[in-house]
Structure 1
Amino acid sequence: MTHQVLLDPSNPTDEDYCPDESLFAIYHSTQAQSCAAAPRNFIGALPIELLLAIFTHLYRSSHRLTQTGEIWRLDEPLSSLFPYAPAAVCSMWRLVLSSVPEFWTRVVIRVDSQHTQSQDIRHYFEWSRNLHLDVIITRHRDEFDGDDKREKSKVFKATRELVRHIERCRSIRFNVMYSSSLPSILHDFHRETAPHLLTLELKCKVDDGGSPPRKLVHWSFDAPGLRHLYLDARNFFEVCVDRNNWLRRLHYLSSLSISRYRPLSDNGIDLYKLLRAVEESPGLEFLELKDLHFSRLRPWTTVNDISIDLISMNLEDLSGDVLSEIIGYVDSVPDSTRISRCAITTCHHSLLSGGVAFRGLSDDQNLMVPLAHWRGRTLSLVDCECFHDDFLRDMMDGGPHDQSFACKGVKELYLVNCTKFSPRLLKTMVRKRRKLARRSIFWTHDQEAIDWTFPIVAPITLISVEGGPALFKTDRKWFEDNLGSFHWDEQVSHITFEDSSDSDYDIQGGQY
């Protein structure tokens, strides 16, 4: 929260928060020269007190409330980012803004065509005084395509300045085009201490081979409070595998993401070593694996001594064999599992998870392979062409004795941009499952049945459809009358899974 003296420049109680008195002398001298010609509504004629009030409002609106307190928002466009946008208006505004250290605790450094100059980077760190920092080194969202041969040198200069202030950092986020532009934790952060660091993210869009590997015998990077770690695969293997395994020392780490490994040859990374390192993380709750290519250096199915306990898991762009092996090593029952653009038909392990979400599955995939014996409660499908009437028939076909329903525990169904199914057949499935569920347990309202366990099959109590097929009014009325919660929109939706790289673990449990 911004200190009250921001609105009272005459208050001398704290020099770290009180604007420099020279500001007022500069302001009044410039106004004396131009006030005769300036119209009364000229923006430059605003008093310092009013400017500070406006900037304080912008500062507060740039934050959002989380379970752990207020943090800087990460969803604002770079063009309107506070305090950089108002600081670019004129030298007077920049001078006023630079006098308040709290305004500069989010240091944003651009490494695209509008890259931040080295002199400005130094100023941003200086203006924040001794306060804790959130540092973002990134590109504009429209500049992740094409070629940028200078990206590595721009990131290097930004990293060099960042490391000088790493002891003050609460979060460090890199979001660049190439893996070779990312800093090396092994070398760039060697012998550094970051006592306040909670989040470290090293993201890239393309794995171009990374930097040439180098070795250090006695590596150290002390970040004892780190909770959220997002690494490209090359950095992960340098500091988290074999004797180095940094994860063992991160006792508060709750979420881990490993991404981007596309080798130029046929050689991939070792899945066994990756999972072994993950297993040794003492308190890990969320694991994300994205766009990774593995090699079969040993027969994976013979390696059965790995056991990983998780609350949530996100798997994206993995081969079917890899997906199956990972699912097999997770011994706990996660609250939620998300699978995007993976081959699921070759999966030989049934999912164990309270909620399962699929995204971007093609029509040649068979949802029944991982879901036939799944007994979770919530099923979400986004942009899945393989969700069709055959799947609905499996959900309502319990065999001659009504004992072998697929997805027998499902009570909540979320569908986004899935159109290859019949609303009438969905209605038939819901009706049959409700009828059989009533044989063993009686209830008057669906809400009362949400947490009950049903021996044969659970009733569907919630359906949400975004971008679905056309629905007749009579069918809509039936769903509304017979479900505890119902929503159906035929317009194409742009809802996707939350990107965990832009959010901490507090929102990992979203439906989509």
Structure 2
Amino acid sequence: MAHALLSYRGTSGIPCRPRSTTIVDLPPDVLLIIFRYVSKDAELPGDSNGIHSRLAAFLDPWPSHHDRYLDHPFPESLASIRPLWRSIMSNISIFWTRLVIWIGRDPTPLSRIHQYLSWSQDRPLDIYVYRRFDQSVQDPNEKARIDAIFELLLPHVKRWRTLHMHLLCSSSLPLPRVDLVGRADRLVTLVLRFIFDDLIDSTGSTSHLEDEFETPVLRNLFMGGVHFRESYVRPFPRLAMPPKLSSVAITDYNSHNVAFPLVDLLACLVGCTHLSSLELDSVCLDCSYTGPHIITAEMRLPRWSANVKFIDISGDVITEYSRLLDYPVVDSVSYRRCTTAVPLGATLTDGYNVGMFEIHSPTVLFSLLAAAPEDFSFCETQFEDCDGLTTDVLRKLAEPMHDPDAEAEWVLQGTWLCPNMKSIHVLACTQFRSADMRALLEARRRVHAATGFADADSPGFLVSSVDQLYVRGCCELAPEDEVWLDVNVPRVHWDDWKGGYDRPGLRRQIS
């Protein structure tokens, strides 16, 4: 007993506690078990909703703060703590299949990238090249740094599964079929993003194309307009488009560039029979082509371009897009920050769902709604942050259009804008009153009731009544309008109030 007591005394004779065991003291085999659990929590390998989405949200737009987890994601977050931990983890190749490479401030050393590639052995790679947040908007060394990084990455092109880049300047990005060459058999996602578009002219690089960038399973493609034109449009049809493309997003083609014909862009895309999502963002396109449309009913497949997004696109491009593709019907179409109206009498792409975002001109917003075809015409509509959704626009949606030059029969029948509209979602639109929304719903319900609530396929159909209304952050709901909505609309959600004669809570109460 005395011997045991002495073992708990220090040199001063004062009893002391034995040192507690910490994670630093654990043997390598136990540490490895812990690291494997951490890797599962980090959603390795090939996570589609893990680090990719978190980093994308973190960097777009660049925040003014830092998240240590995002700055040092797994496995570097653990490997950087102790040399022993790095040594243990270096023997497990699955830990190193996701490469997060930082440039700019505190860049990832090239020697470390070389280690990552070696430790990952022959496994597929998800590569993310990002720039750390920095107040500076200039980096003359960015392009040189990227070139050095890709000298290490390109020999492993066959292992790439994801290449996701977000840099300062578009000119720093590698150009497919020029800087990116070889056979990338596993590449599914290619994202080349930038903050500033400094490519103000055609690079002319396609005249030197010698090697192909083969991507037989590429499904998701996001890149700038100059890069897309040089890499895919100009070489087409000599070099074919990736055969499995399902999602394409093209952004930022400046009007100071050489003309980019819309017909050329669509001509290379119509052959992508798996295409289900197309986004055009701030792309200045030339609409001088006046020939026939470029797609036929035989070419149009059910899933081709099922979701279309126009962001800061002019009205003439939107109109010509629909004409060249012979007025396709899609699942959803959305318009964001579009500032020019489509021409009077135009017919646009038709879809079950339409979204209007940040459209502040009533003229532009009304022109987009008025150009909707009558056959399908937007069963679900969404308006968000639109100052263009005014009292006048809503009142026009509450009555049929009349053309004084039309034949008498047409005038008597009238033509309703978006006649099949059954669901309306409105968020942060402040230029109307609840009475205006009620007038829209009341007029449509009255006409729909007069036809015996005819379906859209019935001979006597004129317009559908609205079944669902969701309004938040817009205007105050007047008491008299609340009473009418509660009695005449199946489901209503206006800010914190829920009503309607078919809402779930009421059905349970009645039953």
TM-score norm. by structure 2 comes to 0.77
Aligned-pair distance for 1:202?
Answer: 1.5
Distance 1:359 1:451, change over 3 A: farther
Structure 1 gaps of 5+ residues are: 1-35, 444-448, 492-512
Kindly report which structure 2 residues correspond to 1:108-257, keeping only aligned pairs within 5 A, or say none. 108-140=100-132, 142-143=133-134, 146-190=137-181, 192-209=182-199, 212-214=203-205, 215-216=207-208, 218-245=210-237, 248-257=240-249
Q: Are 1:467 and 1:490, in contact at CA under 8 Å, matched by a contact in 2?
A: no
Question: Per-residue displacement from partner, 1:288-323 (whole Å, max 9, x unpaired)?
Answer: 211222346xx33x1323227521111212223222
The count of corresponding residues between Structure 1 and Structure 2 is 443
* Contact 1:193 1:222 (8 Å CA) reproduced: yes
- 1:463 aligns with 469
Query: For the residues of structure 1 that align with 2:246 and 2:39, how far apart are their CA atoms?
Result: 29
2:85 counterpart of 1:85: no
Q: What root-mean-square deviation, in Å, do the aligned CA atoms of Structure 1 and Structure 2 show? A: 3.3
CA deviations 1:238-266 (Å, max 9, x no partner) are: 23224444773422111222222225x46
How far residue 87 of structure 1 moved from its aligned partner, in angstroms, is 2.5
Query: 1:393 Cα shift?
Result: 0.7
Given the superposition, is the C-alpha separation of residues 249 and 269 from structure 1 closer, same or farther in structure 2, using an over 3 Å criterion? closer
Closer, same or farther in 2 for the Cα pair 1:409/1:137, shift >3 Å? same
- Asked if 1:74 corresponds to 2:52, the answer is yes
Q: Residue 416 of structure 1 aligns with which residue?
A: 427
Out of 19, 38, 41, the position equivalent to 1:58 is 38
CA contact (8 A) 2:360 2:387 kept: yes
Residue aligned with 1:367, SS: helix
User: How far 1:181 sits from its partner (Å)?
Assistant: 0.3
Give the % identical residues. Answer: 26
Work out whether residues 335 and 354 of structure 1, in 8 Å CA contact, stay in contact via their aligned partners in 2: yes
Structure 1 residue 453: Cα displacement:
10
Please name the residue that 1:21 is paired with.
Answer: none
Structure 1 residues 440-470: Cα deviation after superposition (integer angstroms, max 9, x where no partner) = 3459xxxxx8999982111211222332222
Structure 2 residue ranges without an equivalent (≥5): 1-15, 56-69, 402-410, 498-511
One-letter identity of the residue aligned with 2:192: L
1:390 counterpart residue number: 392
Counterpart residue number, 1:25:
none
Stretch of structure 1 that moved more, 86-95 or 149-158:
86-95
Equivalent in 303, 312, 323 of residue 318 of structure 2: 323
Deviation at 1:361, TM superposition (A): 1.2
Q: Residue 310 in 1 paired to residue 290 in 2?
A: no
> Structure 2 counterpart of 1:346, which letter?
V
**Cα pair distance change 1:123/1:182, threshold 3 Å:** same
Seen in structure 2, the aligned counterparts of structure 1 residues 453 and 116 have a Cα distance that, compared at 3 Å, is farther
* Contact 1:64 1:73 (C-alpha < 8 Å) held by counterparts: no
Whether the aligned pair in 2 keeps the contact of 1:248 and 1:282 (CA below 8 Å) is: no
1:149-181 Cα shifts (integer Å, max 9, x gaps): 221122212222221111011111111121110
1:318 match: secondary structure: coil
Whole-angstrom distance in 1 between the partners of 2:239 and 2:257: 28
State the Cα distance separating 1:198 from its structure 2 match: 1.2
Q: Secondary structure at the match of 1:146?
A: coil
Aligned match of 1:276: 267
Q: How has the CA–CA distance of structure 1 residues 422 and 213 changed in structure 2, closer, same or farther, with 3 Å as cutoff?
A: same
Match of 1:345 in 2: 341
> Structure with the greater relative contact order (CA < 8 A, sep ≥ 6): 1 or 2?
1
In structure 2, do the counterparts of structure 1 residues 122 and 439 end up closer, same or farther at CA, with 3 Å as the change threshold? same
| SS at 2:24 equivalent | helix
- Larger Rg, first or second structure (1 or 2): 2
Counterpart Cα distance in 2 of 1:412 and 1:208: 42
Structure 1 residues 417-457: Cα deviation after superposition (integer angstroms, max 9, x where no partner)? 111111122123223322322333459xxxxx899998211
> 2:506 — aligned with what?
none
Structure 2 partner of 1:23: none
Instruction: Give, in angstroms, the shift of residue 50 of structure 1.
Output: 4.9
Contact 1:359 1:383 in 2 (8 A): yes
- Return closer, same or farther for 1:347/1:358 CA change in 2, 3 Å cut-off: farther
The TM-score with structure 1 as length reference comes to 0.77
SS in 2 for 1:231: strand
Compared CA separation, residues 147 and 243, structure 1 to 2 (3 A) = closer
**Partner SS, residue 290 of structure 1:** strand
